[in-house]
Chains A and B, each alone.
Chain A
């Protein structure tokens, strides 16, 4: 079933891709092939392979139960929040929180996880910023 859904999604994606490709604005003077044809060929490739998957699906993979799916979803949300928090909260704080959360969800007791988060954040800060000189998000406290 999963493969059939993927095949279906792939077909829709291919159709969308080809439709978008036909909407590409041609520039005033172009080469003989133009900017549309190659994307359309790719759309065709995606469509054909999706069709093949739809018609000849593999065995069903083992999906996790609902609570684990929710867990993955929540982690994605934390990562998105982390990306947004970086510029305003600064690197060390937001990283410590995000890494601590991940460590906790992967099975570390909460207190240890918080320590792990802080150690990871400071370790990365030392290597990437102080040694390699990359500019990380500064935040209100400068780190």
Chain B
């Protein structure tokens, strides 16, 4: 019954605003698509931002989170372009994994300018880790082992082959002087959680992922972080772990987190979302969440963010070509 009344009210409001041609944009029932199963980074982005939007009363009611897993985000990307292109109440979580796949043409037939890039909410730096009782203690040691015998080290990650988690290892290996990086053994799991579990179980020797994915296991001391792929040491819990750069392997793997909106959404809707996400980013609540989850600052909105994603796609295209992933 309650739903019926709300709907009636919503209809009434819609009719009134149409006749009055009201300017204020009302997103209505807001929705965030997390293009992966619950528990991963995209899901985290949707849920935390959704909750903050709700707490700050920037959206009416609850933001609904829809998990739409598949194709490394490609299913959601295609769904948005093909079926929900003019939805104004919708944002979709994205990250470096999205731009990686776009750069490699892994969303068949889709490009980055088919959607509108809204804003970033921070960056999650990559880590490379081993189990706590592993004999390996530094990133160069790991790289030497791979150089000596590539088949002796299996590296687990949460993305598909060629995805962002895989690419970070390849970039580091390239910098460490490994010529044919294709010999490196990468095992794709369904998300970072499963990959860490396999590291603890001893099926694989190393783990590549994001700082936030591994936090619970770093705190408990179950895994040993060999290197953080950041320009300088992170703050908080990860401060004691060296960067790859310190160890002479100059590689940075910043997994930005942010949102895009459907390509056909109206300008009012786009501005609304840019402002809403921007307000979230500036809030004290969000600063806390960033600190708790090992997110580093990255503050880009609207046109700046659009340009940033374009750059990022271009540079990943270059890296992928250089490494020999695409031609």
**B-binding residues in A (CB < 8 A):** 27-31, 129-130, 133, 142
Contact = CB atoms under 8 A, between A and B. Distances in A.
Given A142-B7, A142-B11, A28 B1 contact: no
B326 interface: yes
Contact of B1 (A29, A30, A130): A130
Nearest to B1: A130
A96 B182 CA distance: 60
B123 to A, nearest CB: 26
Contact of B325 (A29, A31, A130, A142): A29
B161 A27 contact: yes
Contact of B3 (A27, A29, A31, A133): A133
Nearest to A126: B1
A130 B188 CA distance: 43
A109 to B, nearest CB: 33
Given A27-B161, A27-B162, A29-B161, A129 B3 contact: yes
In this complex, the interface size class of chain B, counting residues with CB under 8 Å from chain A, is 10 to 19
Contacts of B3: 129-130, 133
14 contacts: A27-B161, A27-B162, A28-B104, A28-B162, A28-B325, A28-B327, A29-B161, A29-B182, A30-B161, A31-B188, A129-B3, A130-B1, A130-B4, A142-B7
Given A130-B1, A130-B3, A130-B4, A29 B11 contact: no
Nearest to B7: A142
Interface in B173-201: 182, 187-188
Interface string B145-170: 00000000000000001100000000
Nearest to B8: A142
Contacts of B7: 142
Nearest to B326: A28
A23 B4 CA distance: 50
A133 B162 CA distance: 41
A31 B1 contact: no
A129 B4 CA distance: 9
A27 B105 CA distance: 10
Interface in B65-85: none
A28 B167 CA distance: 13
Nearest to A143: B4
Contacts of A130: 1, 3-4
Question: 6 shortest A-B CB distances, which residue pairs?
Answer: A29-B162, A28-B325, A28-B326, A29-B161, A29-B325, A130-B1
Nearest to A32: B185
Interface in B228-273: none
Contacts of A133: 3
A25 to B, nearest CB: 9
A12 B214 CA distance: 48
Contacts of B104: 28
Contacts of A28: 104, 162, 325-327
Contact of B161 (A31, A129, A142): A31
B89 to A, nearest CB: 13
